[in-house]
Amino acid sequence: MEWIRIYEGKAKILFETGERGSVVQRFKNDATAFNALKKGSIPNKGAINCQLSSHLFQFLESNGIRTHFLERISPIDMKIRQLRMVGLEVVVRNRVAGSLVKRLGMEEGTPLAQPILEWYYKRDDLGDPLVNRDHIRILRLAEDAVLAQIGQMAKRANDLLVPYFAERGILLVDMKFEFGTDETGSLFLGDEISGDTCRFWDATTHDKMDKDRFRQDLGKIEENYLALFRRVTRHEPEI
């Protein structure tokens, strides 16, 4: 059966394949920043992010975190569980960076005594605003129990990923997760885990190895995505 495109976002496309319960997410080379005000393309980003995400989803699954990952079926295509997505972006932070520099007036790179969890309402037209539990309740984005479970899963994923990256000479500064439920109501980690959605710094030099290179015009973007991939997976991507 021919694949039917059911959704196209800034960095990924979703296809229905005719198989019940699963869809395919395709990773694009397109890059956007600042609520899509800045647009560009990073060579081989789709393949690198698809394969890095696959690797990290499998790592998390093997440590008891349920993810939407089912199988990688091409360099840029991943078969995933079809989920009903919760309309929130969940950010976990280990060091100050990005919007937190401005919000709290703290210096970039300052280590946080404990991870910070933040919720953002996924609404491009509003610029994905920061929201609290009361906002989430009023907007009916998630039941309290589901929200608590999301918070626990996000923190647990961070606790697993921080040492995993540290062993590979990488500081996991912050990350964004998205979650969804299947038809039985079970919660899964969805979306992607890559240099587009996390901040990764070289542990020694603090050089940036993620989308901040694109956001801040730092150059050597593809080289850094590739170097990150090699360090984390210890092999070459299929391009």
Site track 202-221 with ligand UDP (rule: CB under 6 A), x = hit: ---------x----------
What's the CA gap between 87 and 92, in Å, rounded? Answer: 16
Record the tokens describing residue 151, joined without a space. 């918070």
Nearer to ligand UDP, 73 or 130 (CB): 130
Pick 3 or 141: Cβ nearer ligand UDP: 141
136 binds ligand UDP (CB under 6 A): no
The beta-strand segments (E) located in the chain are 4-8, 12-16, 22-27, 30-33, 38-41, 69-72, 77-81, 84-85, 88-95, 111-121, 130-131, 170-177, 179-181, 187-189, 198-202
Q: What is the DSSP letter of 67?
A: B
DSSP structure string for 161-175 = HHHHHHTTTEEEEEE
Report the side by side order of strands in the sheet with 88-95.
Answer: 130-131, 111-121, 88-95, 170-177, 198-202
The answer to the question of residue 56 lying near ligand UDP (CB under 6 A) is no
Of the two residues 98 and 151, which places its CB atom closer to ligand UDP in the complex? 98
Check binding of 99 to ligand UDP (CB under 6 A): yes
For residues 163-202, which are near ligand UDP according to CB under 6 A? 174-176, 197-199
Q: Does 91 bind ligand UDP (CB under 6 A)?
A: yes
Smaller CB separation from ligand UDP, 79 or 199: 199
Q: Which is nearer to ligand UDP, 83 or 173 (CB)?
A: 173
Which residue's C-beta sits nearest to ligand UDP?
Answer: 98
Segment lying near ligand UDP (by CB under 6 A), choices 24-32, 41-49, 96-104, 220-228? 96-104
- b/e sequence 183-196, b meaning 16+ C-beta within 10 Å: eeeebbbbbbbbbb
Per CB under 6 A, residues contacting ligand UDP are 89, 91, 97-100, 128, 174-176, 197-199, 211
